[in-house]
A and B are shown apart, each in its own frame.
Chain A
């Protein structure tokens, strides 16, 4: 059976929810069926072949196994145990979650808990223009997710930690986690999305996150993806930033055999700002593909992007960043950087920083580099008695520090730093004084 028909057939088994949601799901499925699975002839998928995802007959993820807290803490970062929302196979697991002490100013709810919520109707799947095939698939199939709402003018000190656990069984499973973050005017919050696997097995995560940043609001969104090396992961983040709002998005990818992240931000009001930072570390046969799209739709917008990649083994990396400045978006300031380290002969990178400028009073720049660890720096360290491996680790930590430094959650930054070294198979004890 071809993959599109397969999805159509599975759609019958989905609990559609409220009538408006059912209609929206059907529309998304129709759009998905019509477009089909993109081929590599489609420019957006030039370097990442979706056929690899399409060839498996994915089953909607069943209700996950009963997990105990200890198992979760093994795979997640306990530093955030204070406020955790856990989703297993795309469904909320209240037993594992410890919601923060909520005042009236912060609402976190499961999308499945009250899908008839009329408030959701106008908001879900409302961010951005025409959805991509996989985002449509998510809208058709998502069973649960998180809805985060920060009330006007409220600052949430403690980061909200959303953990998405993939627990594959015998069948290949597909989970479609969904997140909607709404920051009302003048509010501020940090949301961490942590995607992890519990045990190996064939799994496909197709995540969609929508972020609405209100006027003068500030959202920091951190997505950490550390799924099993056999997993496949596609995600899309769509954000709309209102006047003087600010979005900081971090996309950190470590796991899976194939990862494709799409980040699309529309600066929708004068003076809106966004920073998109990304880090990808891949080895073996991994493929990591990051696509970003910043749309300067209004004047005085600021955007900055920094994506850094480290590729070892036979890993392949893709970066495609697009900055569009519309005709009326004068005084826009956009910068974009993609820096890549290739550590092995067989690693590959394809990078395309793109600018599309239709206004004249703008400051736009982009840059892309591909290189190796600096031989002179290595030599310098070794001449001072630092063994080769440690010297390499040090330089690697230096390379990623530009990204980790940007994380407002310090404890997380430290863990990411270690994870990089670990992922590259070079985890060793580095004497504290050498750091």
Chain B
């Protein structure tokens, strides 16, 4: 068994490669000038510059106040040593894939997400963000037919400024937290989605993010607005090339669901986790929050977190509308020296609001896996209901699994339940499988996949397959 473990710990990061594309990169450092530079570079309107500057101000005010409460341990980040802008050289407007840089297409091919194939076979529109600027958008015309806006953030600012201005920062304000403030000041690009009233988005929307340039922090900004009675499913997935230097990733995702709207947001996160000794790897400090503004709206977060050296991420739901629903399904896997402090916040404000939290943590090697969550029932949230379940699976005797749920109930008509268990794969379970001719590795894979089933089945088909493979790859034979 220990050999199997060893094999896993020594497994090379499969997606470690670098694409060589000329970069237009700003020298390291951050001051007001950098914020102005980014804004000018992107030809942004006056209001957005003012918005960024206000965020920068907030961030400076919080300067010595980066969050320390999470159960993660990482070297202090020198924010002046990071370059805040990097973009592939501007190319002319692209109409088809043929015009895309062949290097880029090749990169996607290695990741197994050929745009071509997806376009033809899977009916998925991909807005591929290569580093900071979107270079390819497909299926635009199809979406246009329904009046759906799905474009890069920069384009949205140019073409749909009023919508962006209306919703930007309405869920995650500039001064929300340290990393959100940083993102708000220097965000480079990201995705914008608007689903008009009563429209059911005919396909899964998907963005693949890549971090590519060395020393370039990625500050993605995603804003999804689902107008009354609409529905959208959005996929986000990441892989990053191998690097020795830690890379900072501080993204912000805002979701707004108006009356009767539903947003399903799925993530597979597989950033570079660092090597077996904890050298390198991505710092993934993400603020994700959705607001169920209207009655009977619904926001569902599903995440499979297998990458990053340090993960700090709490996709949350603010349930403002009566009868609104929030869901959080998560699988977080830490191996080697990875650390994850992740969970959710469910803020119940409207009447009869419901939330479900299913969190599955898997720790192997020296990984530290923490669930941290808040369920808050405000005095007005009559009839609110919450169910939380947080299970941890330990593989190996040097890893840790921690659970820190916060339940605050201020309404007597609410029902809140939290349960958590911690266990390891039982010898008897393995024995049972093996004596029926299933190899040890297959048995572990089966048990882990079974452990995560409640979460994985929430993922859209394409992602479910990728997620299962990821878990398999990371854990073959890893049993303590």
B460 beta carbon closer than 8 Å to chain A: no
Docked complex: B303-321 residues within 8 A CB-CB of A: none
B79 beta carbon closer than 8 Å to chain A: no
Chain A, residues 324-363, CB within 8 Å of chain B (1/0): the string is: 0001001000000000101111111111111111111111
Stretch of A170-178, A233-241, A259-267, A364-372 on the interface side: A364-372
Among candidates A346, A352, A369, residue contacting B406 with C-beta atoms closer than 8 Å = A352
Bound-state CA distance A368–B415 (Å) is: 11
Size bracket of the A interface: 35 or more
Among candidates B400, B406, B422, residue contacting A350 with C-beta atoms closer than 8 Å = B406
A376 beta carbon closer than 8 Å to chain B: no
Bound-state CA distance A353–B421 (Å) is: 12
**Interfacial chain B residues near A362, Cβ < 8 Å:** 394, 422-424
A43 beta carbon closer than 8 Å to chain B: yes
Chain B min CB distance to A200 (Å)? 29
B17 beta carbon closer than 8 Å to chain A: no
Bound-state CA distance A123–B411 (Å) is: 46
- Residue contact B415 to A370, C-beta cutoff 8 Å: yes
**Interfacial chain B residues near A368, Cβ < 8 Å:** 405, 407, 416-418
Bound-state CA distance A348–B408 (Å) is: 7
Bound-state CA distance A371–B410 (Å) is: 11
Bound-state CA distance A274–B5 (Å) is: 35
Take A350-B406, A352-B406, A357-B392 as given contacts and tell me if A344 and B421 are in contact as well, using a CB distance cutoff of 8 Å.
no
Select from chain A the residue with minimum beta-carbon distance to B376.
A350
Take A361-B424, A371-B415 as given contacts and tell me if A348 and B402 are in contact as well, using a CB distance cutoff of 8 Å.
no
- Residue contact B418 to A43, C-beta cutoff 8 Å: no
- Residue contact A327 to B398, C-beta cutoff 8 Å: yes
**Interfacial chain A residues near B416, Cβ < 8 Å:** 368-371
**Interfacial chain B residues near A363, Cβ < 8 Å:** 422-423
B420 beta carbon closer than 8 Å to chain A: yes
- Residue contact B417 to A369, C-beta cutoff 8 Å: yes
Bound-state CA distance A358–B396 (Å) is: 10
Docked complex: B389-437 residues within 8 A CB-CB of A: 392, 394-424
**Interfacial chain B residues near A358, Cβ < 8 Å:** 399-400
B379 beta carbon closer than 8 Å to chain A: yes
Bound-state CA distance A398–B480 (Å) is: 43
Bound-state CA distance A29–B395 (Å) is: 45
**Interfacial chain B residues near A357, Cβ < 8 Å:** 392, 394, 400-402, 422
Chain A min CB distance to B17 (Å)? 34
Select from chain B the residue with minimum beta-carbon distance to A324.
B402
B47 beta carbon closer than 8 Å to chain A: no
Chain A min CB distance to B431 (Å)? 16
Select from chain B the residue with minimum beta-carbon distance to A369.
B417
Chain A min CB distance to B362 (Å)? 12
B69 beta carbon closer than 8 Å to chain A: yes
Chain B, residues 264-295, CB within 8 Å of chain A (1/0): the string is: 00000000000000000000000000000000
**Interfacial chain B residues near A351, Cβ < 8 Å:** 406-407, 409, 418
Chain B min CB distance to A392 (Å)? 13
Among candidates A353, A359, A371, residue contacting B420 with C-beta atoms closer than 8 Å = A353
Among candidates A43, A350, A359, A372, residue contacting B407 with C-beta atoms closer than 8 Å = A350
Take A352-B406, A367-B418 as given contacts and tell me if A360 and B424 are in contact as well, using a CB distance cutoff of 8 Å.
yes
Bound-state CA distance A420–B162 (Å) is: 60
**Interfacial chain B residues near A361, Cβ < 8 Å:** 397, 424, 480
Bound-state CA distance A372–B413 (Å) is: 7
Among candidates B397, B403, B419, residue contacting A354 with C-beta atoms closer than 8 Å = B403
- Residue contact B421 to A365, C-beta cutoff 8 Å: yes
Bound-state CA distance A367–B421 (Å) is: 9
Bound-state CA distance A365–B405 (Å) is: 13
- Residue contact B404 to A347, C-beta cutoff 8 Å: no
Take A348-B410, A355-B420 as given contacts and tell me if A360 and B396 are in contact as well, using a CB distance cutoff of 8 Å.
yes
- Residue contact A347 to B412, C-beta cutoff 8 Å: yes
- Residue contact A353 to B411, C-beta cutoff 8 Å: no
Count of A-B contacts judged by CB separation below 8 Å: 116
Chain B, residues 306-349, CB within 8 Å of chain A (1/0): the string is: 00000000000000000000000000000000000000000000
- Residue contact B404 to A354, C-beta cutoff 8 Å: yes
**Interfacial chain A residues near B409, Cβ < 8 Å:** 340, 342, 348-351, 370
Take A367-B419, A370-B416 as given contacts and tell me if A353 and B405 are in contact as well, using a CB distance cutoff of 8 Å.
yes
Chain A, residues 81-114, CB within 8 Å of chain B (1/0): the string is: 0000000000000000000000000000000000
- Residue contact A364 to B421, C-beta cutoff 8 Å: yes
- Residue contact A353 to B418, C-beta cutoff 8 Å: yes
Select from chain B the residue with minimum beta-carbon distance to A355.
B403
- Residue contact A366 to B403, C-beta cutoff 8 Å: yes
- Residue contact B401 to A355, C-beta cutoff 8 Å: yes
Bound-state CA distance A354–B399 (Å) is: 17
Select from chain B the residue with minimum beta-carbon distance to A318.
B408
Chain A min CB distance to B447 (Å)? 14
**Interfacial chain B residues near A349, Cβ < 8 Å:** 407-409
- Residue contact A344 to B412, C-beta cutoff 8 Å: yes
**Interfacial chain A residues near B401, Cβ < 8 Å:** 355, 357
- Residue contact A370 to B420, C-beta cutoff 8 Å: no
Bound-state CA distance A369–B394 (Å) is: 25
| Residue with the highest number of chain B CB atoms closer than 10 Å, among A352, A354, A355, A361 | A355
Among candidates B398, B411, B480, residue contacting A345 with C-beta atoms closer than 8 Å = B411
Select from chain B the residue with minimum beta-carbon distance to A360.
B394
Chain A min CB distance to B368 (Å)? 9
Select from chain A the residue with minimum beta-carbon distance to B370.
A356
Chain B min CB distance to A374 (Å)? 11
- Residue contact A356 to B402, C-beta cutoff 8 Å: yes
Chain B min CB distance to A327 (Å)? 7
- Residue contact A365 to B392, C-beta cutoff 8 Å: no
Bound-state CA distance A368–B414 (Å) is: 13
Select from chain A the residue with minimum beta-carbon distance to B424.
A360
Among candidates B411, B413, B422, residue contacting A364 with C-beta atoms closer than 8 Å = B422
Select from chain B the residue with minimum beta-carbon distance to A332.
B422
Chain B min CB distance to A398 (Å)? 18
Chain B min CB distance to A131 (Å)? 23
Bound-state CA distance A358–B368 (Å) is: 9
**Interfacial chain A residues near B399, Cβ < 8 Å:** 358, 360
Bound-state CA distance A239–B420 (Å) is: 26
- Residue contact A365 to B419, C-beta cutoff 8 Å: yes
Select from chain B the residue with minimum beta-carbon distance to A340.
B409
- Residue contact A367 to B412, C-beta cutoff 8 Å: no
Chain A min CB distance to B157 (Å)? 38
Bound-state CA distance A327–B396 (Å) is: 11
Chain A min CB distance to B65 (Å)? 12
- Residue contact A343 to B412, C-beta cutoff 8 Å: yes
Bound-state CA distance A356–B405 (Å) is: 12
Bound-state CA distance A312–B366 (Å) is: 46
**Interfacial chain B residues near A354, Cβ < 8 Å:** 402-405
Bound-state CA distance A134–B18 (Å) is: 57
Take A367-B417, A369-B416, A371-B415 as given contacts and tell me if A43 and B397 are in contact as well, using a CB distance cutoff of 8 Å.
no
Bound-state CA distance A369–B424 (Å) is: 25
Bound-state CA distance A342–B162 (Å) is: 46
Bound-state CA distance A362–B396 (Å) is: 11
Docked complex: A120-174 residues within 8 A CB-CB of B: none
**Interfacial chain B residues near A369, Cβ < 8 Å:** 415-418
Bound-state CA distance A89–B423 (Å) is: 48
Bound-state CA distance A107–B465 (Å) is: 69
Select from chain B the residue with minimum beta-carbon distance to A341.
B412
| Residue with the highest number of chain A CB atoms closer than 10 Å, among B395, B404, B422 | B422
Take A357-B392, A367-B420, A369-B417 as given contacts and tell me if A352 and B405 are in contact as well, using a CB distance cutoff of 8 Å.
yes
Interface residues in chain A, defined as those with a beta carbon under 8 Å from any beta carbon in chain B: 43, 327, 330, 340, 342-372
8 A-B pairs whose Cβ atoms sit less than 8 Å apart in the complex: A352-B404, A357-B401, A359-B394, A360-B395, A360-B396, A361-B424, A365-B422, A368-B418
The 10 A-B residue pairs whose C-beta atoms are closest, nearest first, are A360-B394, A342-B412, A364-B422, A370-B416, A355-B403, A368-B418, A365-B421, A358-B400, A367-B419, A370-B409
Interface residues in chain B, defined as those with a beta carbon under 8 Å from any beta carbon in chain A: 69, 377, 379, 392, 394-424, 480
Can you name 7 extra interface pairs (CB under 8 A) apart from A349-B408, A359-B397? A350-B409, A352-B407, A357-B401, A366-B419, A369-B416, A369-B417, A371-B416
